[in-house]
């Protein structure tokens, strides 16, 4: 009996040791939608990353680098660092990426293991994205890039350079990484909404994310025998205001895909104060602009997440910046300033104007309309009227207006962030301004769509306009609310009998969506973009406005340059040499 008891105790001890040995910890540090905010979210002149407690700027890569280093030092073999896409595009820094390949290698230096691609990585097109990645490889080591649902064109050559990077596995459908003895499969996904707002990605298309993730999760779990599957998803989700909780693509993804352990979400700029748990899937997102660093700590036993702790770590001026990262950014700042601002007689940090109040963009969170959209469209009309033929009115969607104008001295770098997206046919960043023509009836239809979108103040489709006034009866029926339309203060005939054409200006990006109004209104409103002679437009590039007809070729205009010229036209009321933002743009 004594021998049997001893053997039993030995077996129990062995089993207990075995049980302890398979309890493992993984810490995931994550960001999303950083949009090249290398110097943080705030006025450029107030950012002081190498000192603490003396500025209000949130974020900044020097501070983020410090936090990543400190957090990884706590559990160096158990820490995974990832980004969920849209790490590029949003400041003047991104404009130099094709030549310099700066940010992606910088992220590797900061500790990033794996990143995925968002819609804004495609703003300059797939060939330019390939150029950015190739330039980055020449600069230094880069994180692993995973993008799982890409579909390349079999007929077009416009995506061939990017496809080569997939064939070389510089960009992968998935990757497997080991941390603390855990075998981790990582998938990267472009969501449906992200796909819809990425016209620059063509001819690249994207397979359905649920189908793709389900297939790869099964493969990773059953064939590759990974312990965990993490999806870095540029799809997102939103608060469900009616039912509570959250709704959206990543919520559906967690509901539909079994064996998916974690979704690191992006695209929708939503901050999760607490992690979301759907079935056995944990979903987290940090907001945007590297204002916060996400930290998700998993306790894993027998290939299952038994418990987790989630927190958001503020990236603010309580954090001393990393000196090496700060120096690299300052050196790069000089490069982009010389290339893009110097030809206009500007510099990165030299003030061009000032404001004693914030000019805010529309808020998704509070549902309040800001004034910056009005400022942008007023500037567009001013700029076009100054340099080209007068236009009747201008529009711009909130989705392309990325920043508020914050109180204090305003630099060119601050203004560029307001309208930073896209590229034209020249070497100057920003979508080109273009002009098309509509009838009075079509303008009325467009205004009906504008009225319809005004309820979604925080949405990307909210339209801002200048030069047009409308009388609205909110008790009118569906798409029957606009009663009168005024251009230049005069009422125009909005009946089908009026064949006169009126001019509308916007970025080429926004004008490319005008023809989709029929679909948006279930076929009730049709708007056909036309040229000055009334011919239907088939190529929006032919409508780009020439801002200097004395020079050969088309001299494109950009919204961010319009904003600068508009600011410079204001009065210097206090005699300090800086024009001041007029009170009419105060909230």
Element (H, E) at 372: helix 372-387
- Is residue 75 predicted with pLDDT exceeding 60? yes
pLDDT at 341: 96
118-130, pLDDT tens digit by residue? Answer: 999 999 999 999 9
Distance from C-alpha of 551 to C-alpha of 554, rounded to nearest angstrom: 8
- Is residue 9 predicted with pLDDT exceeding 70? no
pLDDT at 515: 65
- Is residue 304 predicted with pLDDT exceeding 70? yes
- Is residue 434 predicted with pLDDT exceeding 70? yes
466-499, pLDDT tens digit by residue? Answer: 999 999 998 888 888 999 999 989 999 999 999 9
Distance from C-alpha of 380 to C-alpha of 385, rounded to nearest angstrom: 8
Q: Where in the chain is the domain with CATH 3.60.21.10?
A: 25-323
Average pLDDT over residues 396-412: 91
Bridge partner list, 31: 83
Average pLDDT over residues 315-320: 97
- The answer to whether residues 238 and 247 touch, using CB atoms and an 8 Å cutoff, is yes
For residue 145, give the 3-state DSSP assignment.
strand
Bridge partner list, 189: 233
**Which residue is it, tokens 């855990």?**
182
Number of C-beta neighbours around residue 77 at 10 A: 10
Before 199, cis peptide (omega within 30)? no
**Top CATH class, 351-585:** alpha beta
Q: What is the pTM for the complete model shown?
A: 0.88
Query: b or e along 257-291 (b: 16 or more beta carbons within 10 Å of the residue's beta carbon)?
Result: bebbbbbbbbbbbbebeebbebeebbbbbbbbbbb
Element (H, E) at 541: none
Q: Ranked by mean pLDDT, which of 45-54, 196-205, 521-530 comes out on top?
A: 45-54
Candidate from 356-360, 399-403, 434-438 with smallest mean pLDDT = 399-403
**Which residue is it, tokens 């009419």?**
584
- Tokens (6 digits) for 23: 């309890």
Candidate from 107-111, 197-201, 497-501, 519-523 with smallest mean pLDDT = 519-523
- Tokens (6 digits) for 210: 């649920």
- Is residue 456 predicted with pLDDT exceeding 70? no
- Is residue 18 predicted with pLDDT exceeding 60? no
Tell which residue, 228, 133, 127, has the closest CA to residue 180.
Answer: 228
- Decide the pairing of beta strands 114-115 and 79-83: parallel
Average pLDDT over residues 323-337: 97
253-265, pLDDT tens digit by residue? Answer: 999 999 999 999 9
pLDDT band at 21 (very low <50, low <70, confident <90, very high): very low
Average pLDDT over residues 42-49: 93
pLDDT band at 242 (very low <50, low <70, confident <90, very high): confident
Query: To the nearest whole percent, how much of the chain has pLDDT over 90?
Result: 76
pLDDT band at 363 (very low <50, low <70, confident <90, very high): low
Distance from C-alpha of 161 to C-alpha of 256, rounded to nearest angstrom: 34
- The answer to whether residues 403 and 418 touch, using CB atoms and an 8 Å cutoff, is yes
Q: Where in the chain is the domain with CATH 3.90.780.10?
A: 351-585
Average pLDDT over residues 168-176: 97
pLDDT at 1: 45
Angle at 64 between CA 362 and CA 399, to 5 degrees: 20
pLDDT at 291: 97
- The answer to whether residues 431 and 511 touch, using CB atoms and an 8 Å cutoff, is no
Query: To the nearest whole percent, how much of the chain has pLDDT over 70?
Result: 93
- The answer to whether residues 317 and 40 touch, using CB atoms and an 8 Å cutoff, is no
CATH number of 25-323: 3.60.21.10
Number of C-beta neighbours around residue 152 at 10 A: 16
pLDDT at 15: 46
Q: Mean pLDDT across the chain, nearest whole number?
A: 91
- Is residue 26 predicted with pLDDT exceeding 70? yes
């Amino acid at each position: 009996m004594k021998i049997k008891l001893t053997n039993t105790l030995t077996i129990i001890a062995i089993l207990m040791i075995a049980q302890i040995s398979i309890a493992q910890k993984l810490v995931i540090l994550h960001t999303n939608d950083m949009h090249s905010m290398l110097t943080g979210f705030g006025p450029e002149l107030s950012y002081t990353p190498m000192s603490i407690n003396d500025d209000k700027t949130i974020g900044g890569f020097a501070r983020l680098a410090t936090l990543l280093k400190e957090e990884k030092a706590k559990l160096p073999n158990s820490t995974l660092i990832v980004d969920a896409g849209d790490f590029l595009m949003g400041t003047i820094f991104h404009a130099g990426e094709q030549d310099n390949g700066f940010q992606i290698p910088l992220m590797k230096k900061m500790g990033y293991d794996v990143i995925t691609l968002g819609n804004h990585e495609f703003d300059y097109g797939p060939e330019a994205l390939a150029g950015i990645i190739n330039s980055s490889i020449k600069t230094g080591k880069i994180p692993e890039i995973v993008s799982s649902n890409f579909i390349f064109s079999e007929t077009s050559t416009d995506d061939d350079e990017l496809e080569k990077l997939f064939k070389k596995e510089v960009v992968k459908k998935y990757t497997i990484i080991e941390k603390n003895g855990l075998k981790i499969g990582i998938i990267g996904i472009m969501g449906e909404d992200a796909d819809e707002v990425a016209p620059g990605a063509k001819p690249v298309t994207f397979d359905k994310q649920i189908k793709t993730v389900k297939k790869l999760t099964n493969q990773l779990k059953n064939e590759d025998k990974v312990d965990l599957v993490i999806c870095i998803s540029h799809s997102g989700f939103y608060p469900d205001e009616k039912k509570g909780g959250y709704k959206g693509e990543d919520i559906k993804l967690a509901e539909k895909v079994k064996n998916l352990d974690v979704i690191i979400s992006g695209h929708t700029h939503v901050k999760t104060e607490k992690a979301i748990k759907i079935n056995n899937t944990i979903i987290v997102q940090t907001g945007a602009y590297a204002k916060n660093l996400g930290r998700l700590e998993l306790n894993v036993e027998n290939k299952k997440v038994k418990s987790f702790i989630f927190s958001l770590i503020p990236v603010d001026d309580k954090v001393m910046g990393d000196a090496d990262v700060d120096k690299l950014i300052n050196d790069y700042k000089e490069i982009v300033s010389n290339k893009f601002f110097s030809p206009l007689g500007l510099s990165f940090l030299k003030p061009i104007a000032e404001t004693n109040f914030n000019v805010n963009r529309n808020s998704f969170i509070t549902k309040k309309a800001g004034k910056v959209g009005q400022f942008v469209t007023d500037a567009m009309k001013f700029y076009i009227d100054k340099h080209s033929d007068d236009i009747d009115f201008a529009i711009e969607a909130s989705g392309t207006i990325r920043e508020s104008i914050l109180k204090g001295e305003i630099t060119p770098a601050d203004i560029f962030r307001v309208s930073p997206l896209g590229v034209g046919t020249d070497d100057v960043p920003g979508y080109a301004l273009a002009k098309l023509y509509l009838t009075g009836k079509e303008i009325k239809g467009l205004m009906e769509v504008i009225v319809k979108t005004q309820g979604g103040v925080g949405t990307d489709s909210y339209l801002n306009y200048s030069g047009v006034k409308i009388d609205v009866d909110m008790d009118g029926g569906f798409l029957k609310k606009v009663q009168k339309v005024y251009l230049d203060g005069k009422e125009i005939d909005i009946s089908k009998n009026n064949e006169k054409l009126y001019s509308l200006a916007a970025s080429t990006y926004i004008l490319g969506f005008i023809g989709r109004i029929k679909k948006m209104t279930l076929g009730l409103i049709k708007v056909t973009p036309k040229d000055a002679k009334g011919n239907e437009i088939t190529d929006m590039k032919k409508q780009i406005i020439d801002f200097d007809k004395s020079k050969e070729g088309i001299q494109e205009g950009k919204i961010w340059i319009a904003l600068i010229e508009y600011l410079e036209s204001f009065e210097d009321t206090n005699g300090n040499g800086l024009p001041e933002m007029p009170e009419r743009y105060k909230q």
